Structure 1
């Protein structure tokens, strides 16, 4: 198999492996065709008011401030309802959080990528089941429930997308906008008889989406004065709205209120993962049909928050986020959302035992509808049986939802192991011709493929199943076809001393495990770097180049500090940012402007985007001599990286690049162990003149060590979604643009390492194509599957980008003078 064909096949195979994980684990939980179910008894409330304080942490709302007073006195002290914590699920983002709250199910994570504001799939919700729903707030959230609703009864009032500016003076104005527009709306209804009549109907929902807390949390962090003051303003606004609505409806006692949040936020202003600060959100309910506060002598929760909040004597009622949709449906008497997987939290209801039993029965039948079961096995009034039935039905749903998971997982695992074995065989085999293919072997594998295809056909499986299940057939055929190579490898390994064989195996296993564990524990990378630091000591390099070896050890230890530090910086630290003067000025100026709440200066924004665009072109204008080209790449990319930094991480590329330059020198010193008489002089080495010199030597065990160096040194930086990193480019909320810039921040260190690795490849007189095979085969861990597959594909692309950046040179066009004769 030729090199281009091999690389293309490797890229294609790993793309299939990556895509398979979404069919195995991330399938949509939605099913259709159910009959709507609702409680037949009259509901306690005619209308429901839902406040969602986006990004509000439970502890931030319930805890006391520095003066020992509550920052939300109306919601906590004056409230006559029930309270608790709503437990959210990963990913803790706005879209899946609101879907769980309003539709009652945990959305397929791929829906976030398919569409943020609109629905990639249709689903039922409380809004859809209501008689009328009016909503106010963010254009990122409201439209997805309006466009998914049947008929014309869900109305939205949104501010402009430009209002969601992280650099604005005070993001609390977003919540003030909502409160003001709700008041104006009800005031105007008094002169609009049609609207007034609609507002007085039953089964009405009012949804107030409050984005100010989330925006202030991203911009200033949850422990900031802005975040905490925003909570006070929300408390005041909720109190005013509740009072206004009671007056509007003549204190009829038919209004139910719920305040909660879609997700929390970490101390450094990010969310999306599963830290308790992100998954613990408040839930407060009061009004028609809601239980009064329940006094208790004592209660215990593992988080030990109650004593800190001074709420140990008020019963805390925790729920799962999807349970809230059922609570809202029960309060106003609408059908439970068709795909809801929640359980009605009975303790929040202030109603008769009959009503609770009927509601639980409705919950059970609604779950059974999803399970496609029509057996009437529950007597009305037996709450405990209903709860058991709900759990059994949910287990059944989970069983059928994951029915093909084991089968597909085994198919992908066989394909993955076969591909890894094939790549290893291609790496180690010599340039001798392949043995003649066995026709019987070919027919045998073809017959197996036909059997698998027939099995999938009678099962009416989707076309992707054919790809996942048939892929192992040609892969294992290619492996078995190389039986002579396997025999040669076995003979070679048996001829090696036992100590050398075991040592090599131990190093391979240790390197892979460090790489896998680094996905879970970043500090593992520090251990790997300390191991790297000892490399010169156990080789001849300590004798050949002691000064260079000492610098290597020092830089490895310095680089090992970064995995021990927080994933993102807590506060910007301008003095640490040592790079190009203009980028430093832009970062400092932008930071000062945002601190003074003056927004993002236009000049700074222009400079930032210009620097980003030019950083990929400027290195191509420099000479292609090794150190000149690498230094040019560093300076160019460092400018962009600096603009995307908020603290200590600005030093990361400098330390990393220093280590890479030392690595190139040390690998060149190590060439003599191969018995080469000619070593390239690095000072005059030119990338553009480097040829593929694979005939000089074959692969060596030391080359596997080099591939591990490459993979581990390129895997240090992990960045969570932190808008503060992109403030030099934009401050108005744009999830995909901000995400793209953060991805670029992660890519830059990989580019630096890939360019250095390209230099190591050509200066150690080995084909760079062979190295691409080495690191394709090295990532053999199944753990953290998506990250491993993505990283493998990403490294292949980085290899191509590094060759482009190091070998190509843009020539400015010159006019040729023509002389007349």
Structure 2
């Protein structure tokens, strides 16, 4: 695309200085010193902000960050106005190189960048590589668990900036860089269209390592605030207070209370934004500071209610900077200029907004070209086509030019002319709205088309699962052969096959004409194949249900209702508790009326359901709790030592007894590591922890080599491994949850074996089978949602991996987190196989597992239709996260079911379990 050159002859300001608190929380940066560790109670943490606002020089408010809230993604948005969508999480959003896009630095005459390497590539200029100088340090050098070392990077920035602006030639033994001797620096500082970007990283580093509620985080903000205040004065002095400088202070993202960022939580997305200097309109006064119109409960605590708050979206920053410095708006920019912040004539405002509109229209035209190239015969334009919008903009531009000629570029505009310009501005906003609507229409052009295809894929797969299960479970060999032969007539008489082939050819033709992506062929190919196979197997389902219409309706109703119960657990963890409490009550009633008495196994199972239901009612784990951890550690130690050395003292293998003893080390070392600075921990401690981790994993293979092992003992050995892992990774009541979860698995196996007596003489799918499959998925869900709300990326607490890592490494950290989450799934899958092979022998293990997958797919297809393309980033991100997590869980179920099957293949299921 071709950049749209500025319409105004002279920019508002010559230069712009941008201070960025990397990982700065708005409530803490705007707030007052109020903690005992702070030196000046009652005074602002960042006095510069309060001074500029109260002096009537600045506008301020919230800048809403993009999701995922990571430095490169957010800075890309601030410099280019382009937001990578949530799928960037899966394509390296934390890497130093993102998508190729246009940005502010391509149009500057001169520029500087100071900060970490992970975002330094954003500040390159393809148009003029020598115009921009980047001075960065490697992000890998930052130790997120050493607040002193992390703070040195802000001091390093400070020293470099002092040299740049105050001209000292004193050599620093720790830093040999002398900016006065770098060729061209002083010349760059004299240029107009200059931008200096200063990234202060200590907030991000310390907030991640020590949490933003820690005194070290508050101290880093106060220290950096003093640096910024001095640098601002140095800049003013350097330019002899010529009044041609604009200042912006903001943050790229925040930090959640648990020390993580990445999701759409307000703690991560509501970042501070303050702007003052040349070309900026100061905040207006509030009519009633006691009841301010523009402040809510969040901002009333800042002590700035005498001035109006003005919020912007992060993507609006590039168009704002362009309008101030007189630059082309980056071509990929999606943001709309916040015109209210500019102190300029109405002609200037109308021109910069029109420039923004033309830039968006150019993008709109290009997007339509790309879509139209593929759609060809089938394309339908949006009602506000690019051509119509362009004609409207041209007319508005002519009107502005006429007024500008008559009023000396608006300097001597009359009241009527200013009113006309305001009307033009209003109409320009309407056209921008039409452009954005058109772009959205084009980006979602095939949305309904693809939704239907993908939904058919899920539905047809579930139907095929039903039919295949019934085929291999409920029919005799003679009946099966007869149905198969009936559904395989000669090709000329096989109308279903001919119809399927004809429809497939039409789909292939359409996808080829529209130049669809290769994955689109799969979207349509799978449902066509699944539906055809289901049609061939449809009669097996009739056999399976016993040809009773009421029975069919009843079973389908149960499946649908149970599936929806699982869906709600992704929105409210408490719903899992309600499901378990209902199961507990139902089990008691069912035992009384079906078995004639309430047995001990039923009582234990109901008790386990009640105990496990407590955890989703508790708040998700947000941080370390020594009391909860110690209580869980004590309960685990007493219980496992009793079972290993008393209850199973003869039958238990020596390796499992050794793993029981390791529990003492795992709990003790975890308590030790949380009380000391990770930098001071001897390296061999981490080596021991890694050795134990690999030994526990290796024991899975070792145990599987033992022939004829009792399944109950095999399950117990897996539970002991899970308990050791929970102690190593645990930070709060998650250790106690693991113990109750283990009790739940044991009682479930015993309960299913007892209930299965009611259907042992039936060679059909029974509602109890669906009930068992539902309980399996519910158990897997609580292992995932029992202690944390993991729909949000920010809910991952990295504190649990510090038993293995001094510095957090992205890939290794993620691997450890996934391993921690997956092991309870493996124990649940193992218990499910034991249930299938010991209790429900009339139905194959794979068949019962496929029934459980149907429940999981019901959730997935629900979340697929709930994916949002509009609304806040938190709403959109959460909707995508639910769909992705549900899809990934289904794949994880299949993988772990296969692993559990291998682990239990040598067990003897003919012997009775010991109760």
The TM tier, using the shorter chain, reads 0.7 to 0.9
Instruction: Write out aligned runs for 1:276-291 (5 A).
Output: 276-291=266-281
Q: Distance in 1 between matches of 2:611 and 2:467?
A: 37
> 2-side partners of 1:258 and 1:763: how far apart?
68
Distance change >3 Å, CA 107–CA 147, structure 1 → 2: farther
8 Å CA contact retained: 1:163, 1:174 = no
- 1:227 Cα deviation after fit: 1.7
Q: CA deviation at 1:531?
A: 1.6
Contact 1:47 1:254 in 2 (8 A): yes
- Equivalent in the alignment of 1:90: 67
1:740-768 per-residue CA deviation (whole Å, 9 max, x = no partner) reads: 22222221221121111121121112422
- The answer to whether 1:770 aligns with 2:847 is yes
The answer as to whether partners of 2:726 and 2:734 remain within 8 angstroms in 1 is: no
- Equivalent residue number for residue 792 of structure 1: 890
CA distance in 2, matches of 1:248, 1:421: 74
Contact in 1 for aligned 2:160/2:179 (Cα 8 Å): no
Matches within 5 A, 1:390-409: 390-409=432-451
Q: Secondary structure at the match of 1:257?
A: strand
What's the CA shift string for 1:392-435, capped at 9, x where partnerless?
11111111011011111111112221111111111223341323
Name which of 59, 63, 77 aligns with 2:27: 59
Q: Is the contact made by 1:514 and 1:524 (CA closer than 8 Å) also made in structure 2?
A: yes
Q: CA separation in 2, counterparts of 1:77 and 1:762? A: 73
SS in 1 for 2:82: coil
Structure 2 partner of 1:377:
395
Pick one of 506, 511, 514 that aligns with 1:459: 514
CA-to-aligned-CA distance 1:600-657 (integer Å, 9 cap, x gap): 5423322222222222111332343223222222222322232222211122211101
Give 1:121's match in structure 2, choosing from 99, 103, 111. Answer: 99
- Contact 1:569–1:646 at 8 Å: present in 2 too? no
In the TM superposition, residue 279 of structure 1 has moved relative to its aligned partner by 2.2
Structure 2 counterpart of 1:652: 737
Tell me the distance in 1 between the aligned counterparts of 2:547 and 2:123. Answer: 65
1:49–1:257 CA contact under 8 A, matched in 2:
yes
Matched, 1:81 2:58: yes
Shift in alpha-carbon separation, 1:638–1:390, aligned structure 2, 3 A? same
State the match for 1:194 in structure 2: 184
Larger RCO, structure (CA 8 Å, separation 6 or more): 1
1:530-569 matches, cutoff 5 A: 530-540=581-591, 546-569=599-622
Q: Distance in 1 between matches of 2:713 and 2:620?
A: 32
Matched, 1:297 2:287: yes
SS of the equivalent of 2:293 reads: coil
Give, in whole Å, the separation in 2 of the partners of 1:802 and 1:221. Answer: 38
**Aligned residue for 2:715?**
630
Cα 1:495/1:367, change in 2 over 3 Å: closer
What is the aligned partner in structure 2 of residue 71 from structure 1? 45
Give the RMSD, CA atoms, in angstroms.
Answer: 2.5
Contact 1:102 1:325 in 2 (8 A): yes
Partner Cα distance (1:529, 1:197) in 2? 71
Segments of structure 1 that go 5 or more residues without pairing to the other structure are 1-32, 677-695, 810-821
Q: Secondary structure at the match of 1:342?
A: coil
Determine the structure 2 residue equivalent to 1:736.
811
Q: Give the equivalent residue in structure 1 for 2:561.
A: 510
User: Do the aligned partners of residues 269 and 169 (structure 1) sit closer, same or farther apart at CA in structure 2, a change above 3 Å counting?
Assistant: closer
Task: Say if 2:118 and 2:138, in contact at 8 Å, map to a contact too.
Answer: no
Q: Distance in 1 between matches of 2:431 and 2:681?
A: 56
Which of 315, 323, 327 lines up with 1:330 in the alignment?
Answer: 323
Distance 1:383 1:612 in 2: 64
Instruction: Count residues with an aligned counterpart.
Output: 752
Instruction: Give the secondary structure class of the aligned counterpart of 2:112.
Output: strand
> What residue number does 2:775 align with?
709
For residue 544 of structure 1, report the CA deviation from its aligned partner: 5.8
- Matches of 1:235 and 1:285 in 2, distance apart? 15
Which position in structure 2 is the counterpart of 1:103?
Answer: 80
Q: Is the 8 A contact 2:164 2:180 kept in 1?
A: no
Matched, 1:214 2:204: yes
Q: CA deviation at 1:506?
A: 4.7
Distance 1:396 1:755, change over 3 A: same
- What is the alpha-carbon distance in structure 1 between the residues aligned to residue 696 and residue 847 of structure 2? 29
The equivalent residue for 1:7 is none
Partners of 1:89 and 1:417 in 2: how far apart?
34
Distance 1:175 1:317, change over 3 A: same
Residue 179 of structure 1 aligns with which residue? 158
Which runs of 5 or more structure 2 residues have no equivalent in the other structure? 35-40, 168-177, 366-385, 401-420, 637-662, 865-882, 908-915
In the alignment, the residues of structure 2 paired with residue 109 and residue 599 of structure 1 have an alpha-carbon distance, to the nearest angstrom, of: 38
1:148–1:303 distance in 2 versus 1, CA, 3 Å: farther
Q: Shift of residue 120 of structure 1?
A: 4.3
Aligned equivalents of 1:571, 1:377: Cα separation in 2: 62
1:354-403 CA-to-partner distances (Å, cap 9, x unmatched) read: 22111111111111111113432323342111111111111111110110
* Superposed CA offset, 1:700-724 (max 9, x none): 3211111111111111234423222
Deviates more, 1:504-513 or 1:518-527: 504-513
**CA separation in 2, counterparts of 1:150 and 1:697?**
77
For 1:46 and 1:455, the matched residues in 2 are separated by 55
Asked if structure 2 preserves the Cα contact closer than 8 Å seen for 1:117 and 1:144, the reply is no
Alpha-carbon distance, 1:675 to partner: 4.0
Is the CA contact 1:101–1:325 (under 8 Å) kept in the aligned structure 2? Answer: yes
**Within the alignment, does 1:669 sit opposite 2:754 as a pair?**
yes
Q: Does 1:447 align with 2:524?
A: no
State the alpha-carbon separation in 2 of the partners of residues 453 and 721 from structure 1: 43
The 1:656–1:743 alpha-carbon spacing in structure 2 relative to 1, beyond 3 Å, is: same
Deviation at 1:504, TM superposition (A): 4.3
Q: Secondary structure, in 3 states, of the residue corresponding to 1:274?
A: coil
* Residue matched to 2:14: 46
* Aligned match of 2:120: 142
Task: Give a deviation string over 1:458-487, Cα, whole Å, max 9, x none.
Answer: 222222222212332212111222243354
Distance 1:665 1:280 in 2: 51
Stretch deviating more after TM superposition (657-666 or 425-434): 425-434
CA 1:179–1:792: 2 relative to 1, 3 Å: same
721 and 487 in structure 1: CA distance in 2 versus 1, 3 angstrom threshold: closer
CA distance in 2, matches of 1:756, 1:221: 38
Q: Name the CA distance, whole Å, in 1 between partners of 2:436 and 2:598.
A: 66
The alpha-carbon distance between structure 1 residues 527 and 480, as it changes in their structure 2 partners (threshold 3 A), is same
Is the aligned partner of 1:270 residue 2:312? no
- Seen in structure 2, the aligned counterparts of structure 1 residues 638 and 357 have a Cα distance that, compared at 3 Å, is same
Q: CA deviation at 1:589?
A: 1.7
**Native 8 Å contact 1:569 1:648 kept in 2:** no
Change (3 A) 1:558 1:414: same
User: After alignment, is 364-373 or 760-769 more displaced?
Assistant: 760-769
CA distance in 2, matches of 1:482, 1:757: 27
Cα separation, 1, equivalents of 2:718 and 2:70: 36
1:605 aligns with 2:686: yes
User: Cα gap change, 1:601/1:512 in structure 2, threshold over 3 Å: closer, same or farther?
Assistant: farther
Q: Secondary structure of the residue that 1:520 maps to in structure 2?
A: coil
Deviation at 1:313, TM superposition (A): 1.1
2:579 pairs with 525, 528, 542, which one?
A: 528
